[in-house]
Amino acid sequence: MNPSPPSAPATGTPRLQLTGITKRYPAVVANDGVSLTVQPGQVHAVLGENGAGKSTLMKIIYGAAQPDEGSMHFDGRPVQVRNPQQARLLGIAMVFQHFSLFDTLTVAENVWLGQDRQVPLAEVERRIRATATDYGLDIDPLRPVHTLSVGEMQRVEIIRALLTQPRLLILDEPTSVLTPQAVDKLFVVLRKLAGEGCSILYISHKLHEIRALCTACTVMRGGRVTGVCDPSQESNASLSRMMIGAEPPALAHRDATVGGVVLSARALNLPAAEPFGVPLIDIDLEVRAGEVVGIAGISGNGQKELLQALSGEDPRAEAAMVQLAGPQGLVPAGRLNPRQRRALGLHFVPEERLGRGAVPTMGLAHNLLLTRTDAVGACGWLRMARLQEQARAIIARFGVKAGGPDAAAQSLSGGNLQKFIVGREIDAGPRLLIVSQPTWGVDVGAATQIRGEILRLRDQGCAVLVVSEELDELFEICDRLHVLAKGYLSPSVPRAEATVERIGEWMSGLWHTEVQARLRVAAVPGEAGHAQA
């Protein structure tokens, strides 16, 4: 990643100018007199902790929400953007953190819905392929969306926005599920767009990305603008202080005290369950009590299929292929459903927050019922007072910004909903926690808190399996690492021996070459010590 962002363009008529934007909701003032200026060709970051009002402000610019007060100028002209269609006519495109795709339609059909309907679908398919090739965003336009991983859905949203040839592109956490290599490619695209005069509003919690890419930064806290800076002249520490008022505490990662096997997968083979799925091939995986095992990999290489097989959503495996610790030892669990696996102490955090991790229209207290049954009394009666008490405790412990235990899940910012879902499963006291993308879309302070809670859970004897595309995160919290590529799982490597370069090579499936080389060296008399090293 290029550490030096392009120089800011000369000032002139702003591409976008917001003055005194205020947006009130019943439980919170999301934006309080916000002013923001974006120049043509500028990559402008909007930085703030979860619930600071960033996403609400972007929705106002895009016409998905209406301000209660304030004004907006676009290319020097006063405008009132009443809906996203009007925004697109102005040349404003937005990639949301939570995707807006129809699962049953193909990639091309989803993109076509936002295009000029006079353009034939076949031409849209051609444009998608061309854009995907030009910008390194590999995607098949004929694939149904329900077969895509979260990272692949992100690519669809970005391509859909690029096809509109926007004058202002809004990106809300665009790299949250992208690999470092994909981020590098995306930054090449964004710098090219900025060089052509497109303005970019970039929301991210990844401070090193903001410093590398952006030419200006507006910092928000509690719905207000608290500062404007040139991020290339700041450090991660100074940006953290501007955003949350302090630097996040350093994690204390002690050596693991490993116990018995809690999860075992042996020779796990599963054919793809759908036309564009990834088969699992000879998966061997073991997670013991008191350790965090990480799985790295590029999105779409079998992560979804592996998690479904382990969590019980896909019960097609032979019973002995997946085993969980029970009262008398390992229990064949390949055919058990999610409820039966939860009874053995397995709790699971999926990567999709809304729709799988939480029911959007239900309150937080009711969402506890997805994985918790201790508030269900005799004859199925719900103990609502107990549910609300549990929800309040999770909200307080994990610093979730919400309008109380009855607040609908969809009313929370992405990061706050993530904190609640992760907190819900940790609070249940699992024997085995499987978590996918644990800090997707959360700010640096919240990410540190979630990672600290995972390590605390590990130190209490829980077995933890983390699937993440954040290599820094895996290096920070894991004791051992695997890589998943094309449905194959690499051998594990201790965290102390893992490097970004080595894991990056393994993401392309190159561990076979390394393992074979070690075996050849070990077979030579006198060389076994070198092979072990």
pLDDT digits (tens, 9 = 90+) for 283-293: 999 999 999 99
If pLDDT is split at 50, 70 and 90, which confidence band does 531 have?
very low
Lookup: tokens for 100: 């807006």
Flag whether pLDDT at 30 surpasses 60. Answer: yes
Provide the pLDDT for residue 455. Answer: 95
Residue carrying the six token digits 């090739």:
133
**pLDDT tens per residue, range 195-205:** 989 999 999 88
- Strand extents, DSSP E, 121-244: 168-172, 199-203, 216-221, 224-229
pLDDT tens across 240-268, in order? 888 877 776 777 777 888 999 999 999 99
* φ/ψ of residue 298, rounded to 5: -75, 140
Q: Is 376 helix (H, G, I), strand (E, B) or coil?
A: strand
Distance CA 239, CA 219 (A): 9
pLDDT tens sequence across 85-111: 999 999 999 988 777 889 889 999 999
pLDDT digit string, tens, across residues 140-150: 999 999 888 77
pLDDT at position 148 is 84
Residue type, 94: M
pLDDT grade for 300, boundaries at 50, 70 and 90: confident
Residue 379 has pLDDT above 80, yes or no: no
pLDDT tens figures, 338-364 = 999 999 999 999 988 888 899 999 999
On the question of pLDDT at 78 being above 70, the answer is yes
Does residue 11 surpass a pLDDT of 70?
no
Q: State whether the Cα torsion 201-207-209-213 is positive or negative.
A: positive
Instruction: Report strand pairing: 292-296 vs 224-229.
Output: unpaired
- The pLDDT tens digits of the residues spanning 36-61 come to 999 999 999 999 887 889 989 999 99
Segment (H or E) for 88? helix 84-90
pLDDT computed for residue 70 by the predictor: 97
Q: What is the pLDDT of residue 180?
A: 66
- For the cut 60, the answer to whether the pLDDT of residue 4 exceeds it is no
| Confidence label for 526 from pLDDT (cuts 50, 70 and 90) | low
**Region 124-129 average pLDDT:** 94
Closest alpha carbon to 400 in 372, 362, 371, 442: 442
Q: Return the higher-pLDDT residue of 8 and 373.
A: 373
d(CA 84, CA 252): 45
Query: How many Cβ atoms sit within 10 Å of the Cβ of residue 12?
Result: 9
pLDDT of residue 311 exceeding 80, the answer is yes
- The answer to whether 312 and 340 are in contact (CB under 8 A) is yes
Q: Is 80 exceeded by the pLDDT of residue 532?
A: no
Residue 7 has pLDDT above 50, yes or no: no
| Residues 291 and 258 sit within 8 Å (Cβ to Cβ) | yes
pLDDT given for residue 513 in this prediction: 67
More confident residue, 265 or 372: 265
pLDDT band at residue 10 under the 50/70/90 scheme: very low
Phi and psi of 88, rounded to 5°?
-65, -35
What was the pLDDT predicted at 147? 84
Residues 368, 355 contacting (CB under 8 angstroms): no
Q: Domains in the chain, start-ordered, CATH in brackets? A: 16-244 (3.40.50.300), 261-345+430-522 (3.40.50.300), 357-415 (no CATH)
Q: Which of 441, 192, 153 is nearest to 300 (CA)?
A: 153
